[in-house]
Structure 1
């Protein structure tokens, strides 16, 4: 059994016959109903996510949370109901914070299935009628006009000056002219005999036979790719998950060992269960999930102010870990607005200033502004572009065009010359693939013609000189100038003028060549600077587009992306990963090839941020570590698949997002380095007491007080800690590095040892000098609280001292210090707190000893930071590590820090 060739490869009449359709009368209503019953509606299956109950329950899916829930259950069974309720309260509050933030983000932008809720003009029973697009079936005859969204995959039977914007599906930035001819094997972007579901008709009219509906369309194929692409964990979630598992195993092992040692030493099982629960609750960083969520949520809020909507909290951090940004060209690096930048007329070259469709700019020659009235050939060339034109330029919240972008650019260039209209048109000869030019006749008898250079040179007998008078036509010079423009990736149109003859426009009159207009989709103003900033930050930028290689190369060069260009056809299974890694520009790329590109880079250990706006971008957006969709020009499919939606489509917004993400990650690391000594120290103090056979130095409820007051009150300033001023001048963090480096781990262990020695030693000393258990336990709690307070200043910067400067640049630090002093005074001296937490008032001598321990801790850590910084200059910025890519413009210094060392970085 052989498979029939694809519809675009077969004559249209054969496709009509095989589908049982009719080229003029369409299907009967009865037959359409039967096929709809058999094949189902012309819709895409909706992507379904977990419901609100499941999403709330998923907030508890963490090993640390499991241990807390077990601890609450054990505490309740031991009769300590207040303690159990407090532990449960901590868990529930953390879950509510995460659920609320995710629920807000998940309201983003409808599902892929709702992408095209359109009606279609269908011929049934010999009459045209509008029916919902969902009711279309294979064999239906559909009529299309400019502005219609194509409702299904169609084999075109008629195409009258018909053009389709397929940029959302193929990446092509210019509308594609369609015809009805059968073709040999062709890429999706080159199938001119087809109109595809989800694309937009921009000019002319057409009729086509439905050959695929719903999931069987090219749009449906991409939808299947999206559905088949599994969600990828972000670097932060991977590291937090790994870290949580290690901590959980260590805590459970230590709690079990403590229980066993105590029982073997003859202590009661109930007492040892209480100790094990205290150890578990003390060692678990309860504040970590809350502060991580709050830090990310604040990062999300800042991103909204900077023009981005984050759909998943970890996404804001993932951008900060990015090593490669794969960016779309059209609308992201460029403005998606065709602009005439050069004119050749009368043998002279002119430049046109200004970008976009706004008619603001000048026409210059040799750097000087010219008056078009004094340059007749120039004026006639611009007037021809104005008269031979079906687009409209209008102003509504900025300048916009209706119609073909190329013709819109011609309107703007004429307006810059002060031309506001051509004589009224009396006849039009539209562009066709066979004729390859457009002609218009005007009431003054003038005929203007526009088309490709080679075609108009065939029709012209002479040329207009600088003064407009006829001169011999130098075809070789015109061709050379057009090729020079083409080498700059400029699209070139030629213009000619004639006088109407007796046969009107049916036969072109003798023509005089007027000149050329060359146009370009200009880069966004901030694109080159943003690319350069990313390179300085060690982030490689790769441009991926559906355009031809020459255009892609020229656009890349203008925004700072020089280097090798690879086409999608070259991106095969056998391409070397090294070559992909070294390539900066990818042209004529299909959705499957784009997905393949992302997977190749991820296999090399890179963290990929993929930007895009079209349906064709959706699979790669979902596969990437973070997908970034464009909010203005982006399709629903792209937004549904993305983790972040940029309301400003330009690449500069992505660069700002990278900076914000790096700041979020820095703050999270600072918090973890600061918070862990408290948990480790509490566990060590409890183990030491059990091994030594002494009374418990701290109770489970007192441990919760420490973790949920001292840790949260002092930890919150890290959420709003300002970004380092050099944050975008260092390489990205190597994704293979653990969450905490060796230097950070050493600091954590040193502070934990100080807390163990200070708290356990001081508690033992106080009991030896007659202190009650309540006083000794209160001293232990305050040793931890005040040492965490001084250690806060150690951690405001992981590489240099920040004491009073830290307070000045972050007012929340001072507020948190005052808040901690207040709550600890309340804990120590308020009678109701003494009754609830078994605390007791302290005298001046006890406070003096506590302060000495806290001060010693601060001094020791600053000395350790200095020694580490001198031994390894890379630690000046928190041990950021290196990207696995070769340098991407980072200014390397002998010290290896990724930026120039400055005297301000020394103590």
Structure 2
């Protein structure tokens, strides 16, 4: 049987009676398969496991660090210099390449070790009925047709058509986004429905929260609903990050220009009759001088420092460019459950005795109080309120468990919320329970009998009201029932996106020890609950929008719930449902996605479709999520951000970044970090390129005029390994600009370096070219040796780069000493460069190795003059072309 056929039968199983499904599967709905048949099917169809994900091994990750045009040219230059016998030159070039690769490989290796494989979702055990006998087997041993038993706490091991349920409820939030456990049934559904609405199915990877049941396996491994998502993850095309695209484009341009220039100068030299070996050395010097060797290393180090900062803010970054990508983000598509919300049901309001009370605190922690009109109340002085909260405590099968990570629910989240509300009111445990009528979808209520003869009932508003003939008044005494008023209050709660439960009580007849039916009840009140937004979510959404970033909530939950949560966190406007998405043509979807901030009842393939639609509008998409259903979109997005604490392994595997604190507010911090990283990279590139352009220009001029080389290849490497790295590293730790979150996202279509910055680079390059040539001839005219003149040229480049570093601490305003105060590494770098240049100039061993020679004080004064001229010229250019800085009130 083909996978398509299998998937088709799984899809149709919820539309077919149990008997028909069992017949098609060749199994018995009561006794399951025989052991022999199960073994034969396992042999034919393989284990119940997802295919291994195509993760890069260590060798591929290491080789990927060398995949750059700049690195290719450097390695070719190393080979040429080695062939020419310049082994020191070759070794230094290779050292640059190896350091860059080592930093990137180490970071990616650490991140890979922090994340588990997607296939771990199915590595569980299951109770299966074989030959009519329950046995425990690894979930990988299940086959289609097996009869699987389920109990509270079990992870569903395969896709099942349910054949028996006893108050069975399943948490499907990881798969569908539905925040409330789904009560299951066995009835055949009469019409097609989405995954979240198939009540007679249980899906692989979901969690049984209450009750018992059994189901026939209709799909295993890659054919399950999770398997379909797994295929979508594999089919999603990884998107290059903006930084990766820009650096790659920049590298190609630089490489082409340098190789072309080297080839031209080589040809001109041969045409002029110069020796081929000498011209090859000159061409290598030109290539090594014009290529920014320090760029890959400093880019990698800058990103790695950004990664380290993100770890301190609760994030694990798997790929270095992901840090910068968040800074370029224009749209954040976020899941609701567990990302914007606490993923913990919380009672927020109680209606009892004709009054509405507020309950403070969020989640399962018993921290908070009950209030009326904003003031705390003594619950004991409000009998109806006390009785309503006591009913929620008594008619309950959940438990609250305190762990190292906080309070967690053992059992149904709705019942756990009732326990928390009773604990906040300080209600003592009720008398022991004698008997229970468990909740069932056909009854729509649960009832408990206690030792003191009290019967408590909870359930849907309509069903509980139908069982009542009186209503508790403010003093707790029974009075006339007003069903219309209760229904109106319930509707008011529902419009706020709250889930509403009704409560009632009665006194059992003396001697009753079991419930065979219910006497007329007294209505006690309503408790309204929801999965509350995280306390920081609204501020984080506002900050992102102030930064020009659109925030869109995409959830599998109901439209009313999504609308209510969206309103609380500042995402207002119309809600687009999955059905409306399905009916929207592809050509219209980008516009619809741009206009809409909240999407509800969305399936995994529709999340993927939304991300692709927004990408067609040239948006840079950050997709956050925690469920299996988020994985395809996480992989397709420019950057996927998974939740680490409450997220599934599927989401973590598909993501570029994992937030260990599961807090959407961390996304705002990540965006801020990313923008700072990008700013620092641009500052470094604008600072570093004049040296490369100047070196290329001075070498080209020398070759074209037939003069001696003003700087040797090994001296060029000295500059790149000292000045560029020593002064470049302070840019990696440069603090973020205070206005970084008050400006719009960078246009993804803009080049890495704008025209104004290119003009600045050329200005400094021209000053370097003129200063170096002038001082070269000045020294030689004054009788200095060629070695001394070349040493002066090296120091012109080093000291001018030092002065220019202070220009580049801000690209649009002067900083100078303020820049040193806010980043002490600037002073450290400056002193370190001066120290190494003094050693280069005066240490005899380095004089012998690099061909340098001592300089007199007058030569140093002339070098300093060139550096000062460069600094003043750049500050004047910044003043003339300074842009008007935006303020929060002026987002332009």
* TM-score (normalised: structure 2): 0.97
Partner of 1:455: 463
1:365 is displaced (CA, Å) by 1.4
- Cα offsets for 1:312-351 (capped at 9, x unmatched): 1111111111111111111111111111111111111111
Partner of 2:424: 416
The alignment partner of 2:386 has SS state of helix
- Cα offsets for 1:506-546 (capped at 9, x unmatched): 22211111110111211111111111111111111111111
The alignment partner of 2:719 has SS state of helix
2:726 counterpart of 1:718: no
The alignment partner of 1:414 has SS state of helix
2:565 counterpart of 1:555: yes
Partner of 2:515: 505
The alignment partner of 1:54 has SS state of helix
Partner of 1:35: 41
Partner of 2:482: 474
Measure, in 2, the Cα distance between the counterparts of 1:178 and 1:273: 78
Partner of 2:843: 830
Partner of 2:399: 392
Question: Which one of 230, 233, 236 corresponds to residue 229 of structure 1?
Answer: 236
Question: Which one of 781, 791, 806 corresponds to residue 819 of structure 2?
Answer: 806
1:198 is displaced (CA, Å) by 0.4
Residues 434 and 513 of structure 2 are in contact (CA less than 8 Å); yes or no, is this contact kept in structure 1?
A: no
Partner of 1:905: none
**Matched ranges for 1:304-343 at <5 A:** 304-343=311-350
1:471 is displaced (CA, Å) by 1.3
- Cα offsets for 1:364-398 (capped at 9, x unmatched): 11222222222111111111111111011232332
Residues 499 and 510 of structure 1 are in contact (CA less than 8 Å); yes or no, is this contact kept in structure 2?
A: no
Residues 122 and 140 of structure 2 are in contact (CA less than 8 Å); yes or no, is this contact kept in structure 1?
A: no
Q: 1:606 to 1:643 in 2, by over 3 A?
A: same
Question: Which one of 676, 692, 701 corresponds to residue 679 of structure 1?
Answer: 692
1:91 is displaced (CA, Å) by 1.5
Partner of 2:366: 359
- Cα offsets for 1:603-633 (capped at 9, x unmatched): 1001111001110000000000100000100
Question: Which one of 766, 779, 782 corresponds to residue 792 of structure 2?
Answer: 779
Which sits farther off after the overlay, 224-233 or 668-677?
A: 224-233
Which sits farther off after the overlay, 176-185 or 92-101?
A: 92-101
Measure, in 2, the Cα distance between the counterparts of 1:201 and 1:668: 49
Measure, in 1, the Cα distance between the counterparts of 2:105 and 2:369: 55
Measure, in 2, the Cα distance between the counterparts of 1:891 and 1:557: 23
Partner of 2:504: 496
Q: 1:368 to 1:97 in 2, by over 3 A?
A: closer
Measure, in 1, the Cα distance between the counterparts of 2:818 and 2:374: 52
2:859 counterpart of 1:846: yes
Partner of 2:123: 117
Partner of 2:873: 860
Measure, in 1, the Cα distance between the counterparts of 2:65 and 2:355: 69
2:357 counterpart of 1:350: yes
Partner of 1:886: none
1:564 is displaced (CA, Å) by 2.2
The alignment partner of 1:571 has SS state of helix
**Matched ranges for 1:660-679 at <5 A:** 660-679=673-692
1:469 is displaced (CA, Å) by 1.5
Question: Which one of 97, 106, 129 corresponds to residue 100 of structure 1?
Answer: 106
Partner of 1:630: 643
Measure, in 2, the Cα distance between the counterparts of 1:114 and 1:438: 36
Measure, in 1, the Cα distance between the counterparts of 2:69 and 2:776: 32
The alignment partner of 1:656 has SS state of helix
Residues 339 and 356 of structure 1 are in contact (CA less than 8 Å); yes or no, is this contact kept in structure 2?
A: yes
The alignment partner of 2:722 has SS state of helix
Which sits farther off after the overlay, 766-775 or 586-595?
A: 766-775
The alignment partner of 1:439 has SS state of strand
- Cα offsets for 1:290-328 (capped at 9, x unmatched): 001111111111111110010111111111111111111
2:720 counterpart of 1:707: yes
Measure, in 1, the Cα distance between the counterparts of 2:421 and 2:57: 54
- Cα offsets for 1:630-649 (capped at 9, x unmatched): 01001110000000000010
The alignment partner of 1:727 has SS state of coil
The answer for unaligned runs of 5 or more in structure 1 is 878-889, 900-907
**Matched ranges for 1:533-612 at <5 A:** 533-572=543-582, 574=585, 575-612=588-625
Partner of 2:264: 257
1:11 is displaced (CA, Å) by 0.5
Measure, in 1, the Cα distance between the counterparts of 2:803 and 2:706: 31
Measure, in 2, the Cα distance between the counterparts of 1:125 and 1:712: 72
1:503 is displaced (CA, Å) by 9.5
1:823 is displaced (CA, Å) by 0.4
- Cα offsets for 1:416-446 (capped at 9, x unmatched): 2221211211110011111111001111111
Measure, in 2, the Cα distance between the counterparts of 1:892 and 1:267: 65
Partner of 1:880: none
The alignment partner of 1:289 has SS state of helix
The alignment partner of 1:725 has SS state of coil
**Matched ranges for 1:11-160 at <5 A:** 11-160=17-166
2:459 counterpart of 1:446: no
- Cα offsets for 1:760-786 (capped at 9, x unmatched): 122122222322110111011000000
Measure, in 2, the Cα distance between the counterparts of 1:374 and 1:389: 24
**Matched ranges for 1:176-325 at <5 A:** 176-183=182-189, 184-325=191-332
Measure, in 2, the Cα distance between the counterparts of 1:726 and 1:334: 29
The alignment partner of 2:305 has SS state of helix
Measure, in 2, the Cα distance between the counterparts of 1:86 and 1:389: 72
Q: 1:576 to 1:116 in 2, by over 3 A?
A: closer
Which sits farther off after the overlay, 713-722 or 84-93?
A: 84-93
1:650 is displaced (CA, Å) by 1.0
The alignment partner of 1:448 has SS state of strand
Measure, in 2, the Cα distance between the counterparts of 1:386 and 1:145: 23
Residues 435 and 513 of structure 2 are in contact (CA less than 8 Å); yes or no, is this contact kept in structure 1?
A: no
Measure, in 1, the Cα distance between the counterparts of 2:258 and 2:96: 18
The alignment partner of 2:113 has SS state of coil
1:891 is displaced (CA, Å) by 4.3
The alignment partner of 1:766 has SS state of helix
- Cα offsets for 1:669-689 (capped at 9, x unmatched): 100000000000000000111
- Cα offsets for 1:7-49 (capped at 9, x unmatched): 0000011101111111221111100011001111000001122
Which sits farther off after the overlay, 415-424 or 175-184?
A: 415-424
1:892 is displaced (CA, Å) by 5.7
Residues 449 and 513 of structure 2 are in contact (CA less than 8 Å); yes or no, is this contact kept in structure 1?
A: no
2:773 counterpart of 1:760: yes
Measure, in 2, the Cα distance between the counterparts of 1:519 and 1:51: 47
Measure, in 2, the Cα distance between the counterparts of 1:479 and 1:135: 50
Measure, in 2, the Cα distance between the counterparts of 1:82 and 1:318: 38
Which sits farther off after the overlay, 289-298 or 498-507?
A: 498-507
* TM-score (normalised: structure 1): 0.95
Measure, in 2, the Cα distance between the counterparts of 1:91 and 1:291: 12
1:99 is displaced (CA, Å) by 1.4
Measure, in 1, the Cα distance between the counterparts of 2:183 and 2:767: 75
- Cα offsets for 1:433-491 (capped at 9, x unmatched): 11111001111111111111111111111111111122111111110000000000011
Residues 463 and 513 of structure 1 are in contact (CA less than 8 Å); yes or no, is this contact kept in structure 2?
A: yes
